[in-house]
């Protein structure tokens, strides 16, 4: 049996620079790369403002889900990378819980010393099962 795959990109310069896709669907599983806080033109949003970065990052995650016709309740796993985790854990936890609502995916949150962009404080990746009813 051959599994079909398809990719999705925002058209950001770093996608070709780094050589990756924002998401790859393989069969009924969607793998979403770490999302970050940027607008549709690729401009970084929220320097020094963790909550704004987290909200914008989750909005970008929604944009990927929407492209594949998926919903938040089909997310089975999130990975949340946070620079300065001790300072930002409570905000990250509150916003992640609000984003997921009653749905409870598995999640790993990790403190990191640095992320790709100098002002970046958070990055969120996800695994989604498209065959889960929503």
Q: Is residue 134 part of a domain?
A: no
With tokens 């990975």, the residue in question is: 79
What is residue 104's predicted lDDT score, i.e. its pLDDT? 96
Question: Is the per-residue pLDDT at 5 higher than 90?
Answer: no
Task: Give the residues across from 32 on adjacent strands.
Answer: 23, 126
Domain count, the chain: 1
pTM of whole model > 0.85? Answer: yes
Q: Which residue from 42, 40, 55 is spatially nearest to 96, judged by alpha carbons? A: 55
In a domain, 59, yes or no: yes
**By residue range, what is the domain housing residue 9?**
5-129
Q: What is the C-alpha to C-alpha distance for residues 102 and 130, in angstroms, rounded to an integer?
A: 18
Q: What is the CATH number of the domain that holds 32?
A: 3.30.1330.40
Percentage of the chain modeled with pLDDT above 90: 80
Structure confidence by residue, pLDDT tens digits, 69-117: 999 999 999 999 999 999 999 999 999 999 999 999 999 999 999 999 9
Q: Which two tokens stand for residue 45?
A: 């949003």
Kindly report, residue by residue over 110-126, the tens digit of the pLDDT. Answer: 999 999 999 999 999 99
**Is 70 part of a structural domain of the chain?**
yes
């Amino acid at each position: 049996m051959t599994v079909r795959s398809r990719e999705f990109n925002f058209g950001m310069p770093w996608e070709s620079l780094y050589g990756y896709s924002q998401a790859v669907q393989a069969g009924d599983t969607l793998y979403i790369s770490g999302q970050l806080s940027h607008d549709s033109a690729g401009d970084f949003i929220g320097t020094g403002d963790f909550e704004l970065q987290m909200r914008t990052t989750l909005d970008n995650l929604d944009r990927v889900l929407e492209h594949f016709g998926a919903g938040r309740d089909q997310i089975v796993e999130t990975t949340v990378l946070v620079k300065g985790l001790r300072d930002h854990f409570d905000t990250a936890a509150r916003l992640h819980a609000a984003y997921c609502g009653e749905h409870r995916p598995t999640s790993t949150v990790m403190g990191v010393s640095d992320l790709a962009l100098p002002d970046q404080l958070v990055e969120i990746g996800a695994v989604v099962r498209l065959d889960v009813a929503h």
